[in-house]
Structure 1
């Protein structure tokens, strides 16, 4: 048995095909559980009493809750269920598990205890998404995982960026802590933070005054609130391409290497994209130098420097079309009135 397809629908919020199907335990172990192992950063596998009980229930023949599988691909107009089934089976190794990692891991763990009958006939219902972008997939992943004890938004985003590496345009300039940072590389953790900030439309992603569990909840709510109902939202891959293009200018690349600049830029770019994308790199450099002069005029003893920098960069990028030809004093007056 491979994949059975029963229904084909369409999720209008994330512009994605939504397929309801099923498979058996044998196929899930051989094809779906491997999708967990391909990710660099894993969700910590839980050993709670609930999963111990589920193990016993599986061996007794229960039907598990549906597993959610997703593909990132362009919209495909499927003619019928047979075409969908063929697509899924041919591309299954490029899929993600959005919901059901723990269950699949448990199933693989007890494979030797499963009878031949259960391997062949044990039913796993599948919800399958074919999504046109990583941003939209992330939005759906957050809505799936927040309501139970969730992965943090940062962890969810790290999983997606490490698996699909939607940052290929900057891959030669991105290094992780494991690789060893250098003056010629961007910090990947800063880029992940910038992605979180972009999706949630907020620079407030690591507030030390808020306990981590509550902060994760607020970030998830920001992502859901800011993402789900915007028709003209730009995709983060467009932001990455923009940063990559500007990074050919050494001064701009060094500016992006400052994590707070990168975060502020990625939040502000949603509104400033049309003006920034058509800007000459040298002119952007000149205007960012003016911003640095403005920042130097701020009394640092009265602000939280990192948050204030992110916010100033965000507001400057959002209003770039208005501010790019202004003097330092005019920029200072404008930004200090709205910070």
Structure 2
């Protein structure tokens, strides 16, 4: 197997190093083994379309694939500290490139995500399966170009991916966020009290702090687009949503002091504290995806709104405190349940109506700077249904 690092570059917008590399098919397919299954919640793999059938035929003839983009976590990239990030053209020493090469070569598939190239990877695997033994040995020696983002956090990677796809006819934003969900889990896993349940775990939420990765991925989209309804079918609306998402991500990438911040990570921290404050008796409240998406959208709305930004932190601190103190009806959960049960399923989509109910109530609470209790906010939100 062959793998060679040929250069490094630095992206000043997202403050991250990118490694240019070459590998043979054998090395690449081994390092990404299982990625298709790991990313089962993202865009479906295209198996029968004519373009991908043609691609497999071209691969058998020895075509060169467009560069595949990977994100690799948990590697020793300390040698990148030898270089000035302001250099437009970094000339790395062979010794440093070898160091990065060795570090990446030791990584396992669990720390490798396919950011761009899932369909090409599947085409490679399908083509390999169609060959006889002699043909396979030749096929596996062919070269592939790689763009590898090392130890990149979820937030800047999401920004970069959405930005590069915005000028094309992209997969939906939901699919793009789902692709990055492995990095999202990595970015959130050190928050106190969180347990992230992946699709392959086949587990149910049974206690506060447990959240399915698919729920958090949807919550991130709701937070970015400031809307609790994340499924978009209208391409014009989808384009507008991506533009809004890029603006939200851009705000967080660099604040006025030149520091990165992560408003979504702050949201999840608040979510965990609220979840714990409700206790096991009300475990179903934040176990409901519609509630999580409504909260995420409302806090994303306030996060971007110039007027509400200054109220957000204080309001959420007060909400958490009030929930911890109120043992009888924390967060007005019983009031919420009564309103939710009153939604007429014949007249409304219950899921959409519930998400909108939560969104309006939490947004109202923030707008009031936490001066109105959540019971009143639920009631006011219900009056708009």
TM-score under structure 1 normalisation?
0.75
Q: CA deviation at 1:21?
A: 1.2
Task: Kindly report which structure 2 residues correspond to 1:100-119, keeping only aligned pairs within 5 A, or say none.
Answer: 100-111=117-128, 112-113=131-132, 114=135, 116-119=137-140
Q: CA deviation at 1:276?
A: 5.1
Match of 1:227 among 249, 267, 273: 249
Tell me the residue number matched to 2:278. 250
Tell me the residue number matched to 2:105. 89
Q: 1:265 to 1:86 in 2, by over 3 A?
A: same
**Structure 2: 5+ residue stretches without partners:** 83-95, 256-260, 304-308
The reply to whether residue 134 of structure 1 matches residue 151 of structure 2 is: no
Q: Whole-Å Cα distance in 2 between the matches of residues 81 and 280 of structure 1?
A: 50
CA deviation profile, 1:92-115 (whole Å, cap 9, x unmatched): 421100111111222122223546
CA RMSD of aligned residues (A): 4.3
Q: Whole-Å Cα distance in 2 between the matches of residues 213 and 226 of structure 1?
A: 20
Tell me the residue number matched to 1:68. 69
Q: Whole-Å Cα distance in 2 between the matches of residues 147 and 197 of structure 1?
A: 22
Match of 1:309 among 357, 361, 382: 357
Q: Whole-Å Cα distance in 1 between the matches of residues 234 and 203 of structure 2?
A: 27
Q: Whole-Å Cα distance in 2 between the matches of residues 247 and 105 of structure 1?
A: 39
The answer to whether the Cα contact below 8 Å between 2:11 and 2:17 also exists between their aligned partners in 1 is yes
SS of equivalent residue, structure 1 residue 125: strand
Tell me the residue number matched to 2:258. none
Q: Whole-Å Cα distance in 2 between the matches of residues 164 and 20 of structure 1?
A: 23
The answer to whether the Cα contact below 8 Å between 1:20 and 1:126 also exists between their aligned partners in 2 is yes
Q: Whole-Å Cα distance in 2 between the matches of residues 25 and 172 of structure 1?
A: 32
Q: CA deviation at 1:174?
A: 9.1
CA deviation profile, 1:182-209 (whole Å, cap 9, x unmatched): 6979773544432211133333424xxx
The answer to whether the Cα contact below 8 Å between 1:18 and 1:129 also exists between their aligned partners in 2 is yes
Decide which moves more: 22-31 or 36-45: 36-45
Q: Whole-Å Cα distance in 1 between the matches of residues 62 and 199 of structure 2?
A: 46
Q: Whole-Å Cα distance in 2 between the matches of residues 55 and 250 of structure 1?
A: 53
Q: Whole-Å Cα distance in 2 between the matches of residues 7 and 142 of structure 1?
A: 25
SS of equivalent residue, structure 1 residue 129: strand
Q: Whole-Å Cα distance in 2 between the matches of residues 104 and 177 of structure 1?
A: 24
Q: 1:68 to 1:333 in 2, by over 3 A?
A: same
Tell me the residue number matched to 1:241. 269
CA deviation profile, 1:61-109 (whole Å, cap 9, x unmatched): 2111001001245995424212221221122421100111111222122
Query: How many residues end up aligned between the 2 structures?
Result: 329
SS of equivalent residue, structure 1 residue 13: coil
Q: CA deviation at 1:235?
A: 4.6
Match of 2:294 among 264, 267, 271: 264
The answer to whether the Cα contact below 8 Å between 2:197 and 2:210 also exists between their aligned partners in 1 is yes
SS of equivalent residue, structure 1 residue 88: helix
**Structure 1: 5+ residue stretches without partners:** none
Q: Whole-Å Cα distance in 2 between the matches of residues 84 and 129 of structure 1?
A: 12
Q: 1:331 to 1:242 in 2, by over 3 A?
A: closer
SS of equivalent residue, structure 1 residue 248: helix
Tell me the residue number matched to 2:90. none
Task: Kindly report which structure 2 residues correspond to 1:260-299, keeping only aligned pairs within 5 A, or say none.
Answer: 260-269=290-299, 270=303, 271=309, 274-275=313-314, 278-279=317-318, 281-284=320-323, 288-289=331-332
SS of equivalent residue, structure 1 residue 26: helix
Decide which moves more: 138-147 or 97-106: 138-147
SS of equivalent residue, structure 1 residue 43: coil
The reply to whether residue 56 of structure 1 matches residue 102 of structure 2 is: no
Q: Whole-Å Cα distance in 2 between the matches of residues 63 and 176 of structure 1?
A: 33
SS of equivalent residue, structure 1 residue 21: strand
SS of equivalent residue, structure 2 residue 6: strand
SS of equivalent residue, structure 1 residue 264: helix
Q: Whole-Å Cα distance in 2 between the matches of residues 179 and 87 of structure 1?
A: 33
SS of equivalent residue, structure 2 residue 150: strand
